[in-house]
Amino acid sequence: MTLPAHRGIQVWREDGAAPDRVAEEVPVALRYNGEPHVVMMCTPSDLEDFARGFSVTEGIVEDVAQIGAIQLRELSEDQGFEMDVAIPQSCAQRLAGRQRQLRGRTGCGLCGAQTLADVLRPARRVPAGVAVAAGAVRRALEALRRQQPLNAATGSTHAAAWATPDGLIVAVREDVGRHNALDKLIGHLLATNSDLARGFVVVTSRASYEMVAKSVAVGMPMLVAISAPTAYAVRLAEDAGLTLIGFARAHRHVVYACPGRVSSAPLGTPG
């Protein structure tokens, strides 16, 4: 991939010009078995992870093992990227029946849905998971601030991170779109056979419907967001048994759904 995730600009101050950076945002066309499906606006990094995560969380495949080769092609003249994802014929036929050939904006939360039935499908139940000390949430938030190089350079990207029950960050993905960042993280975790029942996800955004839905789709038991959730997201979390935390800060957070996984036990020393 030749296109960087950011490009250089100049900032003018009283004492002259200084270099700075702005995040890239490019169209990424997803094709399944050669058939066009959707065009998303993404940061051009970790795109194979994005394809895996999107394919699972949008219900195109039931398991990441059903995804075969992913062919990534950069288009000419800064036109973005095209990815052809190989999936079983049965999945391709089901996808064709849904007639989901759409253009997804960066902030689009229902980019894959054509009907209300697609959006309002019953939530699956997430695993019981493990207890997470309140201090682990704070530890993960503090660690995540230091693990967002693209946002540090540009100030315009979201991050999604996976943390162990004691709050250690083990994976981070960034993107201009909050749900893209989460799909990238999920794609990476699934590809590396991570145990998604043992840990929690942290996102640097609000906890809207699609953030909860994607977490539930792969069995993540806890979602921590630095901003507020929507009422629909809270209802979905309650139906799925997902612990939903919002307004997560260094010294406080709000538990909106399923508080039983949040423990008041003291946090141990990280290993």
Annotation marks residue 108 as catalytic = yes
Q: How many CB atoms lie within 10 A of CB 230?
A: 17
Instruction: Report residue 153 as tokens.
Output: 């350079």
Report how far apart the first and last C-alpha atoms of the chain are (Å, whole number). 36
Residue found by looking up tokens 């629909």 in the block: 232
Distances (CA, A) of 62 to 65, 228, 250, 260: 9, 30, 37, 29
Type of residue found at 190: L
Cβ burial, residue 116 (10 Å; 0-12/13-18/19+): exposed
| Vertex 86 angle, CA 85 and 90, to 5° | 125
Dist. CA 21–CA 34, nearest whole Å:
35
Instruction: Report residue 217 as tokens.
Output: 């789709």
Distance of alpha carbon 245 from the chain centroid: 16
Taking a C-beta distance cutoff of 8 angstroms, is the pair 43, 24 a contact?
Answer: yes
Of 217, 191, 118, give the one whose Cα is nearest residue 201.
Answer: 217
**Catalytic option among 42, 91, 108, 111:** 108
Dist. CA 87–CA 254, nearest whole Å:
40
219: left (phi over 0), alpha (psi -120 to 50) or beta: left
| Catalytic residue positions, numbered | 108
